[in-house]
Structure 1
Amino acid sequence: MVNTTSQSNHLTEAEATSQKITTVLGAGAWGSTLAAVAERSDHHVRLWSRRSGESLKSVIEDAEIILSAVSMKGVTSIIDQVKEIGIPEHTIIVTATKGLDSETTHTPSQLWKEAFPDHPVVVLSGPNLAKEIQQNLPAATVMASEDEAAAESAQAMFACETFRVYINNDPIGTELGGTLKNVIAIAAGVCDGLDLGTNAKAGLLTRALPEMIRVGTSLGASSETFFGLSGLGDLLATCDSPLSRNYQVGYGLAQGKSLEDILEHLEGTAEGVNTTQVLVRLARKEGIPVPISAQVYRLLRGKSTAQQAVQALMARELKAEFDDDLFDD
């Protein structure tokens, strides 16, 4: 059973030799879900949050895998705490956070790698709606790392009958697929909130994918990754489900609700709101065309209405569907 603050986080010597230890940092919906998945795979799991009775040191000092599932705004803080404590040299770091750091524009895995250059860092991302996984419905995800052995270790730790895990060697692409689709999910929520129909939504998602690829390849990702589970797969799942918090944000804005009111009543964090701000700033700096994300940005900032955002996208200059240069929007 997953350890909580009321249970001991320490194993006997016999238990330690028979079970590998995974520590999940962040006891929100996503962290709790991933802890339960690892527990189904018959591993010893510790679930920790800043409100836990156990100290952070006690839950990470002998962990084989440390999985971070904290929100984007908490990533730098938890990295600083873990770095101050120190971790065993064999420990693998897995990050399951989707977002961009507002100060550096870096992804979570880049932040972890900068802090722990001698440790393998693995990215977990895919079409994984937490509530469905909690119901033990089948799902698939990706563990991505430049260290193949580390990715395989994480794969074995989390794979079970209802959670199929693949690996690849493109962590930045895998991470950006899961991060950028949150911005598009807001746009998809707007599309459904305005009742624009299936044609409009299909057009939106089809044009969103090359926009994601433009950003990803500019930052060093492989374009192929975006056609996999963490790109297209996550895009489809998030943009077509009311369970998605980012989708809920867009849907609410389309119905005339204020962003403040939507976020106040939201169950959890809609990472796409912060990601949009950082993405647009990054795209401007790097000269990357992001027309859909730019309209989401204007909507979130109150500079346009949902209807005006749709009109702006429909009125853009006519062009060929496929360009030789992916960066030419």
Structure 2
Amino acid sequence: MTKHVTILGTGAWGTALGHLANYGDNRVTFWSRRGELSLEAAIANADVLVSAISMKGVAETAEKVRQIGLPSHTIIVTATKGLDAATTRTPSQIWQETFPNRPVVVLSGPNLSKEIDAGLPAATIAASRDLYAAETIQTVFSSDIFRVYTNTDPIGTELGGTLKNVMAIASGVCDGLNLGINAKSALLTRALIEIVRVGTTMGADVETFWGLSGLGDLLATCNSNLSRNYRVGYGLAQGKSLEGVLEEIQSTAEGVNTTNVLIDLARKQEVEVPISYQVYRLLNGQISAEEAVAALMERDLKQEVVTPEE
């Protein structure tokens, strides 16, 4: 059945999602703040509203959509990965609080937009407390190059995709310093445990992080120079300034903002995040890449614990 899909945001990921929706029997409309189409016109007939805008614009855009009003049947999908600097809320929490009686679906997984644009196969998760809404989005985006799974843990699905951006910066540092496979394997293993620790504190199901939106996204983002966040870490390890690296990328690296918000959240929740903390110090010019690695290696010796209660 044909669905009218409106994509908010025409960046790399929003554009890729539009292409994926076009594989099915769907009509796709793109909207951006710089475009000629008004927001009111873009959402007027939307069966599916996909938010793929940068984190800093989510709250403002959600409020504008609320003021305009959505068709009664519209399913809201969020594909943004980040944390709100003012409230530490995730994108889905912002949309759900703005539209408390609407189904909100999180779309997240190991999905590098350039590979999707090239027609390479990929898989993702559509997660919602409303399983019918998740299954509807599964149908809308599934194709012979894009496999969509469902689950009912939107916060876990979302946090897996959000927090791995912080770890991708750390992974870029590891590769930029040529620390080797042993070091990187240790880093990614401990990074996943750290993500689980934060995620379960925020109410996520631990099992979600072993799947596509957790481990899968972590592996994809931490092992590819197609990842903007990985490139941030790699550039910093080369001695470049953060401003210089971001200028080279010429795009948003959500992991930079997420790191700062995550540290604030971790302090409030009293959650241990050693890797994220060293990334935070590096991004804020407090230490060098080499000093960040040394700080992690010099931590107190302990027994390995791989449960979130560590």
Tell me which of 284, 293, 306 is aligned to 2:267: 284
Tell me the equivalent position of 1:256: 239
| 1:74 correspondence with 2:57 | yes
More displaced stretch, 181-190 vs 312-321 = 312-321
Question: Based on CA coordinates, which of the two structures has the bigger radius of gyration?
Answer: 1
- AA aligned to 2:140 is M
Conservation of the 8 A alpha-carbon contact between 1:276 and 1:293: yes
Equivalent position of 1:234 in the other structure: 217
Give per-residue Cα distances to partners, 1:260-296, cap 9 Å, x unaligned: 1111121321000000000000001110000000000
CA contact (8 A) 1:249 1:262 kept: yes
Gap regions ≥5 residues in structure 1:
1-17
- Give 2:308's aligned residue: 326
Q: Write the distance in 2 (CA, Å) between the matches of 1:304 and 1:243.
A: 26
| 1:272 counterpart residue number | 255
Runs of 4 or more consecutive aligned structure 1 residues displaced over 3 Å after TM superposition? none
Contact 2:135 2:150 in 1 (8 A): yes
Contact in 2 for aligned 1:155/1:167 (Cα 8 Å): yes
Partners of 2:159 and 2:54 lie apart in 1 by 15
Residue 30 of structure 2 is aligned to residue 47 of structure 1: yes
Q: TM-score, length-normalised on structure 1? A: 0.93
Matched, 1:198 2:181: yes
Amino acid at match of 2:141: F
- Please give the secondary structure, in 1, of the residue aligned with 2:148: strand
8 A Cα contact 1:213 1:226, kept in partner: yes
Q: Partners in 1 of 2:308 and 2:115 — Cα distance? A: 35
1:96 pairs with one of 79, 93, 97? 79
Q: Pick one of 192, 203, 222 that aligns with 2:205.
A: 222
Deviations 1:296-323 (A, max 9, x none): 0000010000000000100111111126
Shift, 1:54, TM fit: 1.4
1:92 deviates by 0.3
Q: Give the deviation of 1:225 after TM superposition.
A: 0.3
Structure 1 residue corresponding to 2:130, chosen from 128, 131, 147? 147
1:188 is aligned, of 144, 149, 171, to 171
Q: Secondary structure at the match of 2:115?
A: helix
CA apart distance, 1:41: 1.2
Contact 2:172-2:233 within 8 A present in 1 as well: yes
1:127 paired residue among 110, 128, 142:
110
CA contact (8 A) 1:288 1:327 kept: no
TM-score, normalised to structure 2's length?
A: 0.99
Answer yes or no: is the 8 Å Cα contact 1:245–1:267 preserved in 2: no
Instruction: Give the percent of matched residue pairs that are identical in Structure 1 and Structure 2.
Output: 63
Following superposition, the deviation at residue 224 of structure 1 comes to: 0.3
Cα RMSD after superposing both structures: 0.9
Which of 81, 85, 90 is the matching residue for 1:107? Answer: 90
Number of residue pairs the alignment of both structures matches:
310
Mapped to 1, the partners of 2:166 and 2:103 lie a distance apart of 28
